[in-house]
Chain A
Amino acid sequence: MAIIETAQLRKIFKTRYSVVEAVRGVDMRVDEGEIFGFLGPNGAGKTTMLRMLTTLLPPSSGQARVAGCDVQREPARVRERIGYVSQSGGVDNNATGRENLLLQARLYRIDKPAIRAAELLAALELEACADRIAHTYSGGQRRRLDVALGMVHRPRLLFLDEPTTGLDPQSRAWLWNEVRSLRAAGTTIFLTTHYLEEADALCDRLAIIDGGRIVAEGTPTALKRSVAHDVITFGLDVYNDTLQRAQDLLRGQPFVHELHASKDELRLYVSQGNTTLPVIMQLCANAGISINSIALAHPTLDDVFLRLTGHSLRDEGPEEHKAAGYDWKAKATGSKKKAGAR
Chain B
Amino acid sequence: MKVLRDTYLLFLRSVKATWRSPAWVMIGIFQPICYMLLYAPLFNRLTRVPGFPPGNAFQVFTPGVLVMLGLFSATFVGYDLIFELRAGVIERLRVTPVSRMALLLGPVLRDVVNLLAQSLALVLVAWLLGLRASPVGVLLAFGLQFLMGLLMASCSYGLALAIKDVNAMASIIQTFILPVLLLSGIILPMELAPPVIHYIADANPFFYAVEAARALFHGAIGDAAVWHGFAIMALMALLAIFWAARSFRHTT
Contacts and interface: CB of A to CB of B under 8 A. Distances in A.
B252 A57 contact: yes
Interface in A88-128: 88-95, 99, 103-104, 106-109
B123 to A, nearest CB: 30
Nearest to A133: B20
Contact of A90 (B6, B88, B98): B88
Contact of B88 (A89, A103, A107): A89
B16 A90 contact: no
A90 B95 CA distance: 11
A103 B95 contact: no
B89 interface: yes
A83 B98 CA distance: 13
Contacts of A94: 16-17, 20
B96 A79 contact: yes
A56 B95 contact: yes
A107 B93 CA distance: 9
B252 A84 contact: no
B20 A86 contact: no
Nearest to A79: B97
Contacts of A149: 92
A99 B16 contact: yes
Given A87-B88, A89-B88, A133-B20, A104 B96 contact: yes
B87 interface: yes
A189 B163 CA distance: 34
B9 interface: yes
B97 A80 contact: yes
B202 interface: no
B87 A90 contact: yes
A55 interface: yes
Contact of B9 (A51, A56, A83, A107): A107
A221 B6 CA distance: 47
Given A86-B88, A108-B97, A56 B16 contact: no
A82 interface: yes
Given A89-B88, A90-B88, A95-B16, A107 B95 contact: no
A56 B91 contact: yes
Contact of B91 (A86, A104, A133): A86
Contacts of A80: 97
Contact of B13 (A54, A57, A103): A103
A89 B95 CA distance: 12
Nearest to B252: A57
Interface in B219-233: none
B96 A108 contact: yes
A191 to B, nearest CB: 15
Given A57-B252, A107-B6, A107-B98, A84 B92 contact: yes
A149 B91 CA distance: 12
A76 interface: yes
B86 interface: yes
Interface string B236-250: 000000000000000
Interface string A53-82: 011110000000000000000001001101
Contacts of A54: 95
B94 interface: yes
A86 to B, nearest CB: 5
Interface of B: 6, 9-10, 13, 16-17, 20, 84, 86-98, 252
Given A79-B95, A95-B13, A149-B92, 12 more contacts: A54-B95, A55-B95, A76-B97, A79-B96, A86-B92, A89-B88, A94-B17, A99-B13, A103-B13, A107-B96, A107-B97, A109-B97
20 contacts: A56-B94, A57-B252, A84-B92, A86-B91, A87-B88, A88-B87, A89-B87, A89-B88, A89-B92, A90-B93, A92-B13, A92-B84, A92-B89, A93-B87, A95-B17, A99-B16, A103-B13, A106-B9, A107-B9, A109-B97
